[in-house]
Structure 1
């Protein structure tokens, strides 16, 4: 009996009998078939064992915004050594010229042993130790230039990894390719005599997928329902926040590393107006001056940022309402200027809550957390002492992952320090906790890479169980 073939299959087989191992794009270019027809034909040929599909992936590099600027004007450390090439320069003068590049320029120039820093009575002086040759990182910037090159063309992979760690220097693009080859049987098929008129009554009918919410959204809704069932009310706030509420109100010093542009997204040329009352500003300023012993700047507190946590919503709620008793939580997206990896994203979802009461204690907080995790289906829980900037004492929640057979970190929690609550007139203890929702969702759905939630893998999205 002759092989039953669709006209699409006939066209592809005939082409591959004359030209071996073609990619999808090559088949599209050599036939009059559409991309959808080609993809359909590939699946049909695979099911009939008439074709072999080989998948490959290649990575390409191009320069991001900061990479292009560094190619044109030089890396921060190169700018620094150029400024001190003709003699020592005071720290303050360098900072005025290098601006936000100052810290990274100093760090890399010192690491490369290019500069020497000495101190006099009034300031620090930077002088040149040696005139540096072109670095491997600089050579890579020139090699990539304005275009795009394969990653394997870069010989110094260590220097490339160093550049990747710099924000918006290197853009890594992955291109996946499918190559099609005929099976031994298909190579000898006479496509002209193959039957294309028969109807396969045993063929699968098209699958219909009902609409559904995203698994991550399901997790968010479940967490919201759990906290409401525990007697909590939800509060919300804006994604863009003044540094005052995102950092200062939480007793984070203005020279803290978390405030660097490498860790936080700042909104360019945007300053907050009327962000707090004069009394709130004075109390927070006094708290910083007393606790950190430095000159607090209101201009720094005005800078607008994409919130790095939802605690800014919580502390503003406390400052405006001054509740004697409260149970509230917030759910929402937060933003961190981090390198994307299997466990880090530049934006993710966070849940956070507080309890205010006369006699509440750390034991109450552990009880609330234990009940929350049990309702989420996580039963093996322990608490570990740790440090957080605005709580004392502080604990880290550990949950046992049966699949990985190890303990993993989830929420952080503690009691707000007096430096956080007293400036706003809150005298009773405030229990606080917070953590990333994606991390809980990874445990629920058995994922090892947080990026899977955002990859739009329809096969996974359609088949993941609705209830966990």
Structure 2
């Protein structure tokens, strides 16, 4: 069974087969586009598998030295001497002054090429016009264009030898060269025979990221499933609500700070006309006047607002159906006019629920909440007394986060006040609770910043939000 080949090995073998002869690693690197380290690694793999032989030898390379680089840029001394003489003879003293220490080598090389003649006083060109390029100049241009090259690749070896005798013109180095030759098995593999051979059972499988729900959508779905399996029915409501159901019916005074523009999104130029029956509006108005003062504005009650909670949906459901016993919840988007921060969003998702019955108790509500948290994977739960405007008594639930190492506030809860249920004709005691789902998703994902849920970081999403 033939060994499986890496892509680097296949490319090296293909290049060797195309050349039909041994190649050094530098040549393979240039022709395949592989890095020299990749080629060296690949040839070692091939040698170990018996698909190639590698012979090491010393190779001489040549490149321009400091003086050679200056000559390639400004011209050799003899070329500069010849250019000085194009307009006519120049006194020897002037030529020596202009070329300095290079005058002697320039005269020697120029005479050797037959470019110049000199007498006791002057130096002049031997022919008409500029002399043709010399072999040394051709080698200079070649090295300037190619950089470091193998000494054997230079076309005019005699000119190279002449340049090497000049100080600083060229630098000759010896480097270890590795010549790669395919074996018979390697030639077969280069022809594609390996494709019918072994499969590399240790090769990494391709990473696949299948489509999946966003971690927040998964949390919303699990919250919904948890309450449905606990015997609750889901109710829905509009995102745009009259202030009557969003505030007034929940015993929130019309001058309460939560109803101000900086806390709530009002819809300009929009109001509701048929949002509740006249008896309910009258009863809620009377309740407000009895507790919050004689002024109650019907116009304020009709104003349109983006709902700040989902309690308005369940409360309206209870007011319209007036059940003796019920379990209901509402889940959806709510809006708060708050500055976005690590724990606040302008729009977020909230779940809110109610339990109606003559014998329901606050202790039973604590049990429902504890069971809900358990189904969401949160085992350590505690409650403590707090204050909410439309429940009495009221509790705050706390869940311990192992990843954050501290207790986190989650849902608020309590028993709806009679001032809420009585005007709407709701009989029996009503347990209520509510809270943001983003906070639940944060705890499950180990996040400390709610904005990360909406950052769309692919690495986090591909990891399942963990």
Query: Which range, TM-score by smaller chain?
Result: 0.5 to 0.7
Query: Could you say which residue in structure 2 is the equivalent of 1:262?
Result: 262
**2:265·2:335 contact (CA, 8 Å) conserved in 1?**
yes
1:192 Cα deviation after fit: 12
Secondary structure at the residue paired with 2:345?
coil
Task: Find the aligned partners of 1:378 and 1:360 in 2 and give their Cα distance.
Answer: 24
Q: Could you say if the C-alpha distance between residues 451 and 6 of structure 1 is closer, same or farther in structure 2, counting changes exceeding 3 Å?
A: farther
Query: Could you say which residue in structure 1 is the equivalent of 2:457?
Result: 457
1:333 Cα deviation after fit: 0.5
More divergent stretch after superposition (246-255 vs 456-465): 456-465
1:8 Cα deviation after fit: 11
Q: Could you say if the C-alpha distance between residues 208 and 314 of structure 1 is closer, same or farther in structure 2, counting changes exceeding 3 Å?
A: same
Q: Could you say if the C-alpha distance between residues 4 and 446 of structure 1 is closer, same or farther in structure 2, counting changes exceeding 3 Å?
A: farther
Task: Find the aligned partners of 2:216 and 2:291 in 1 and give their Cα distance.
Answer: 40
Q: Could you say if the C-alpha distance between residues 401 and 278 of structure 1 is closer, same or farther in structure 2, counting changes exceeding 3 Å?
A: same
Query: Could you say which residue in structure 2 is the equivalent of 1:403?
Result: 403
Whether 2:423 is the aligned partner of 1:423: answer yes
1:206 Cα deviation after fit: 6.5
Calculate the TM-score normalised by the size of structure 1: 0.57
Q: Could you say if the C-alpha distance between residues 203 and 241 of structure 1 is closer, same or farther in structure 2, counting changes exceeding 3 Å?
A: same
Task: Find the aligned partners of 1:283 and 1:375 in 2 and give their Cα distance.
Answer: 40
1:250 Cα deviation after fit: 0.3
Deviations 1:337-371 (A, max 9, x none): 00000110000000010000011110110011111
Q: Could you say if the C-alpha distance between residues 282 and 447 of structure 1 is closer, same or farther in structure 2, counting changes exceeding 3 Å?
A: same
Secondary structure at the residue paired with 2:309?
coil
1:293 Cα deviation after fit: 1.6
Secondary structure at the residue paired with 2:452?
helix
1:463 Cα deviation after fit: 1.2
Query: Could you say which residue in structure 1 is the equivalent of 2:292?
Result: 292
Query: Could you say which residue in structure 2 is the equivalent of 1:374?
Result: 374
Task: Find the aligned partners of 2:404 and 2:449 in 1 and give their Cα distance.
Answer: 13
Number of aligned residues: 282
Task: Find the aligned partners of 2:349 and 2:30 in 1 and give their Cα distance.
Answer: 50
Query: Could you say which residue in structure 1 is the equivalent of 2:361?
Result: 361
Task: Find the aligned partners of 1:192 and 1:397 in 2 and give their Cα distance.
Answer: 77
Query: Could you say which residue in structure 1 is the equivalent of 2:445?
Result: 445
Whether 2:348 is the aligned partner of 1:348: answer yes
More divergent stretch after superposition (355-364 vs 1-10): 1-10
Secondary structure at the residue paired with 2:221?
helix
Query: Could you say which residue in structure 2 is the equivalent of 1:251?
Result: 251
* 1:214-293 matches, cutoff 5 A: 214-293=214-293
**2:404·2:446 contact (CA, 8 Å) conserved in 1?**
no
Task: Find the aligned partners of 1:192 and 1:453 in 2 and give their Cα distance.
Answer: 57
Task: Find the aligned partners of 2:31 and 2:282 in 1 and give their Cα distance.
Answer: 78
Q: Could you say if the C-alpha distance between residues 8 and 226 of structure 1 is closer, same or farther in structure 2, counting changes exceeding 3 Å?
A: farther
Deviations 1:264-306 (A, max 9, x none): 0001100111111111110000000001123100000111000
Secondary structure at the residue paired with 2:348?
strand
Question: Which runs of 5 or more structure 2 residues have no equivalent in the other structure?
Answer: 1-24, 36-146, 151-189, 191-199
Task: Find the aligned partners of 1:6 and 1:294 in 2 and give their Cα distance.
Answer: 92
Secondary structure at the residue paired with 2:330?
strand
Larger radius of gyration: 2
Whether 2:299 is the aligned partner of 1:323: answer no
Task: Find the aligned partners of 1:325 and 1:409 in 2 and give their Cα distance.
Answer: 29
Deviations 1:397-433 (A, max 9, x none): 0111122221110000000000000001113110000
**2:323·2:427 contact (CA, 8 Å) conserved in 1?**
no
Calculate the TM-score normalised by the size of structure 2: 0.57
1:4 Cα deviation after fit: 6.0
Q: Could you say if the C-alpha distance between residues 257 and 7 of structure 1 is closer, same or farther in structure 2, counting changes exceeding 3 Å?
A: farther
Task: Find the aligned partners of 2:255 and 2:33 in 1 and give their Cα distance.
Answer: 65
Deviations 1:88-127 (A, max 9, x none): xxxxxxxxxxxxxxxxxxxxxxxxxxxxxxxxxxxxxxxx
Task: Find the aligned partners of 2:149 and 2:414 in 1 and give their Cα distance.
Answer: 76
Question: Which runs of 5 or more structure 1 residues have no equivalent in the other structure?
Answer: 11-189
Task: Find the aligned partners of 2:31 and 2:351 in 1 and give their Cα distance.
Answer: 53
